[in-house]
Amino acid sequence: MVKNEERVGIVSRLGSNGEGVLKDGDFTVFVPYALPNEKIKYRVLKVKKNVVFAKVVEVYTPAEERVRPACSVYEKCGGCQLQHLKYKLQLKLKSKIVKECFSKIAFINTSVPMTERSELEFGYRNKLQLPVRAENFGCEIGFFALGSHRIVPINSCPIQPEWCTRIIKAVKKYVKLNNVSVYSDKVGFGLLKHVVVRAVDGRLLITFVINGDTLPYVNELIAILKEYFNDFSLFVNINKLGNNVILGDRFICLFGRDKVMTTDCGIKYEMGPESFMQVNDNVRRRIYQETVKISGVDEETVVIDAYSGAGMLTAIFAQRAKKAIGIEIIKEAVDCADSLKKINGLWDKMENVCAPCEDALPVILEREKLTGAKTVLILDPPRQGVDEKLINVIKEAKPEKIVYISCSPQTLARDVGLLTDTLKREGNDLIKNNEPNPIYELTEVKPYDMFPQTKHVETLVCLARKV
Ligand SMILES: C[S@@+](CC[C@H](N)C(=O)[O-])C[C@H]1O[C@@H](n2cnc3c(N)ncnc32)[C@H](O)[C@@H]1O
């Protein structure tokens, strides 16, 4: 097979990125936006040994499961991968991906229930990050095309709430009426780079990220924003670096309150423009509630919340347990957790540690073991999962329960395989352990649809100590 060749085939299944997969002779062909049982014409983009990456040219027989994507730039933007698939089947696919990761990566055959649906299939995101760029002799606002700095211009985005459309209109109007300079990647010059928005309880925290020291025509901008929004705060963020990081360190509040006080799962908290919060409010709350439920904590339990972010879950546990200890590497997030502790009066019940889990967790596990307390460990690591040495420390310390929240089914399966002894290390490889002697038993696997229309899935897992 050669690049640009066009061929016809029938898609046999969906792959783990939501793409169609088919067999063509000795080749396995991956075709994004194609569905099982569809007869398609595809164009070869890249051949790597017997794996082919291709693009749909024509769908001859659309599958029953196919729906018209809600987005006009769906295949160009690359932010969503599953909009062409009925929502119920998106949920089914995500459960299948989780199940396959457990069986293929960790040799664990476990039943995985249907992925918990999101209350909102569209318009669910509470956060928006829009690049603004000087392109085609004008200002373009949209999203970067996958793996590039080329803007795909948009007027709206179906996975964002309706306010996204008004933000785009307001930014365009401000730039046009005031002739505001806009950043260009090609020359590394120009002022306005990004507009970042967070929605908290109906109030928008709007940040203009600039490559400079001051935002011009602020009064004019506030007047324009007032035409579109009743309740908002305006910030400027200074980021003069030409790298891929969106936000700089400094936020300056130009209008409205700099923090919004709100309540979630019984915890009062302050949200600023830089605060970390999972993007789907409804699903986030359900995951927190289920985490508390399956952890079975009582007033005698010590909870260690590893990779604790801004400390929301640590605070929720601190209200119910003897004590909750959060461990987080980012200082600003730990400051937020400290403010949660203060606002909610959790003085002697919540401890926030700013350190890598690799350093702090072994010490804290050992310390709590010496007190003889019943210990529950929460793990909510980033995509790369938990460090293998740390997993070995956890197995030695044997907390009574481990609740693992993960945004990567692949690293989740690997880590659960190591914790339940179905995997062992041999040199550079992790291989099947044929003589397992497990300390932990996998008691629950529950996928949640935090990110509808995309390939991403959040999974909650519970491990209970056997001995
Ligand atoms: C998926 S987030 C979890 C956030 C939090 N549990 C929540 O519900 O909002 C992962 C967190 O782990 C932190 N992190 C990443 N590597 C870390 C490490 N080695 N040690 C401690 N924290 C780390 C990140 O800064 C991030 O806040």
Q: Is the pLDDT of residue 467 over 80?
A: no
Catalytic residue status for 407: yes
pLDDT digits (tens, 9 = 90+) for 84-113: 999 999 999 999 999 999 999 999 999 999
pLDDT digits (tens, 9 = 90+) for 420-440: 999 999 999 999 999 999 999
Tell me which of 259, 281, 308 is where a domain ends: 259
CB 176 within 8 A of CB 170: no
CB 295 within 8 A of CB 403: yes
Max mean pLDDT range (145-149, 246-250, 459-463): 459-463
Mean pLDDT on 6-25: 95
State the distance from the centre of ligand 1 to the C-alpha of 291, rounded, in angstroms.
16
- In a shared domain, residues 387 and 421: yes
Max mean pLDDT range (14-18, 124-128, 141-145): 124-128
CATH number at residue 209: 2.40.50.1070
Please report whether residue 92 resides in a domain: no
Please report whether residue 340 resides in a domain: yes
* Residue 354: burial class (beta carbons within 10 Å; 0-12, 13-18, 19+): middle
- In a shared domain, residues 306 and 382: yes
Please report whether residue 139 resides in a domain: yes
- In a shared domain, residues 13 and 32: yes
- For residue 65 the two structure tokens come to 């499961």
CA of 333, closest atom in ligand 1: 27
CB 407 within 8 A of CB 99: no
Cα 346 to Cα 187: distance, rounded to the nearest angstrom: 51
State the distance from the centre of ligand 1 to the C-alpha of 360, rounded, in angstroms.
13
Tell me which of 221, 240, 259 is where a domain ends: 259
- In a shared domain, residues 178 and 203: yes
Q: How many domains does the chain have?
A: 3
Mean pLDDT of the chain: 95
> Which residue among 276, 289, 307, 378 is best mutated to probe the pocket of ligand 1, counting the most ligand atoms within 8 A of its Cβ?
307
Tell me which of 212, 241, 259 is where a domain ends: 259
CA of 309, closest atom in ligand 1: 27
State the distance from the centre of ligand 1 to the C-alpha of 330, rounded, in angstroms.
8
Cα 39 to Cα 63: distance, rounded to the nearest angstrom: 9
Amino acid letter, 14 = L
CA of 356, closest atom in ligand 1: 20
* Residue 403: burial class (beta carbons within 10 Å; 0-12, 13-18, 19+): buried
pLDDT digits (tens, 9 = 90+) for 291-333: 999 999 999 999 999 999 989 999 999 999 999 999 999 988 8
CA of 381, closest atom in ligand 1: 10
CA of 387, closest atom in ligand 1: 19
Cα 453 to Cα 74: distance, rounded to the nearest angstrom: 10
- For residue 172 the two structure tokens come to 């365009």
Q: Is the pLDDT of residue 383 over 90?
A: yes
> Which residue among 327, 328, 358 is best mutated to probe the pocket of ligand 1, counting the most ligand atoms within 8 A of its Cβ?
328
Q: Strand 232-238 and strand 203-210: pairing?
A: parallel
First to last CA, the chain: 55
Task: Pick the catalytic residue from 336, 357, 407, 462.
Answer: 407
Neighbouring residues of 212: CB distance < 8 A, sequence distance ≥ 6? 191, 238, 240
Ligand 1 site residues (CB inside 6 A) read 278, 307-310, 312-313, 327-330, 333, 356-358, 380-382
Please report whether residue 253 resides in a domain: yes
Amino acid letter, 348 = D
State the distance from the centre of ligand 1 to the C-alpha of 329, rounded, in angstroms.
7
Cα 10 to Cα 17: distance, rounded to the nearest angstrom: 18
CATH number at residue 397: 3.40.50.150
Cα–chain-centroid distance for residue 43? 31
Neighbouring residues of 148: CB distance < 8 A, sequence distance ≥ 6? none
> Which residue among 279, 329, 405 is best mutated to probe the pocket of ligand 1, counting the most ligand atoms within 8 A of its Cβ?
329
- The protein residue whose alpha carbon is closest to atom 6 in ligand 1 is 308
Please report whether residue 73 resides in a domain: no
Cα 30 to Cα 211: distance, rounded to the nearest angstrom: 40
- The protein residue whose alpha carbon is closest to atom 18 in ligand 1 is 356
Task: Read off the pLDDT band of 149 (50, 70, 90).
Answer: confident
pLDDT of residue 277: 84
Neighbouring residues of 29: CB distance < 8 A, sequence distance ≥ 6? 9, 21, 22, 23, 42, 52, 53, 54
Range with the poorest average pLDDT among 18-27, 131-140, 172-181, 339-348: 131-140
Max mean pLDDT range (270-284, 326-340, 419-433): 419-433
Cα 123 to Cα 116: distance, rounded to the nearest angstrom: 17
pLDDT of residue 333: 86
- For residue 293 the two structure tokens come to 């439920």
pLDDT of residue 242: 79
Q: Which domain holds residue 205?
A: 127-259
Output the CA–CA distances (angstroms, integers) from residue 104 to 31, 97, 314, 370, 381, in the order listed.
Answer: 22, 10, 33, 38, 21
CA of 284, closest atom in ligand 1: 8
CA dihedral 290, 293, 299, 304 (to 10 degrees): -50
Q: Is the pLDDT of residue 136 over 80?
A: no
285 forms beta bridges with none
State the distance from the centre of ligand 1 to the C-alpha of 448, rounded, in angstroms.
19
User: DSSP 3-state assignment of 118?
Assistant: coil
pLDDT of residue 244: 82
Residue 86: count of CB within 10 angstroms of its CB: 15
Task: Read off the pLDDT band of 148 (50, 70, 90).
Answer: confident
Task: Read off the pLDDT band of 150 (50, 70, 90).
Answer: confident
- The protein residue whose alpha carbon is closest to atom 1 in ligand 1 is 382
- In a shared domain, residues 424 and 399: yes
pLDDT of residue 247: 93
> Which residue among 271, 283, 289, 308 is best mutated to probe the pocket of ligand 1, counting the most ligand atoms within 8 A of its Cβ?
308
DSSP 64-110: TTB---S-TTHHHH-S-S-TTB-HHHHHHHHHHHHHHHHHHHH----
Strands (DSSP E) along 219-307, which ranges? 232-238, 250-255, 260-264, 267-271, 301-306
- The protein residue whose alpha carbon is closest to atom 13 in ligand 1 is 307
Neighbouring residues of 394: CB distance < 8 A, sequence distance ≥ 6? 361, 365, 377, 386, 402, 419
- In a shared domain, residues 108 and 192: no
CB 356 within 8 A of CB 328: no
- In a shared domain, residues 40 and 140: no
Cα 38 to Cα 10: distance, rounded to the nearest angstrom: 6
- In a shared domain, residues 280 and 196: no
Please report whether residue 86 resides in a domain: no
Output the CA–CA distances (angstroms, integers) from residue 294 to 291, 314, 401, 404, 434, in the order listed.
Answer: 5, 15, 9, 11, 30
- In a shared domain, residues 439 and 297: yes
Please report whether residue 210 resides in a domain: yes
- For residue 301 the two structure tokens come to 């339990």
- In a shared domain, residues 406 and 437: yes
pLDDT of residue 143: 93
Looking at residue 164, the DSSP 8-state letter turns out to be: H
CA of 278, closest atom in ligand 1: 9
Please report whether residue 190 resides in a domain: yes
pLDDT of residue 147: 80
- The protein residue whose alpha carbon is closest to atom 7 in ligand 1 is 309
- In a shared domain, residues 179 and 283: no
Q: Is the pLDDT of residue 137 over 80?
A: no
CATH number at residue 51: 2.40.50.140
State the distance from the centre of ligand 1 to the C-alpha of 379, rounded, in angstroms.
9
State the distance from the centre of ligand 1 to the C-alpha of 272, rounded, in angstroms.
18
Residue 293: count of CB within 10 angstroms of its CB: 11
Please give the radius of gyration of the chain, using alpha carbons only, rounded to the nearest integer: 24
Mean pLDDT on 54-69: 96
User: How many percent of the chain have pLDDT more than 90?
Assistant: 89
- In a shared domain, residues 202 and 233: yes
- For residue 245 the two structure tokens come to 């990081």
pLDDT of residue 83: 97
Question: What angle, rounded to 10 degrees, do the helices at 409-419 and 87-106 form?
Answer: 40
State the distance from the centre of ligand 1 to the C-alpha of 158, rounded, in angstroms.
28
State the distance from the centre of ligand 1 to the C-alpha of 407, rounded, in angstroms.
12
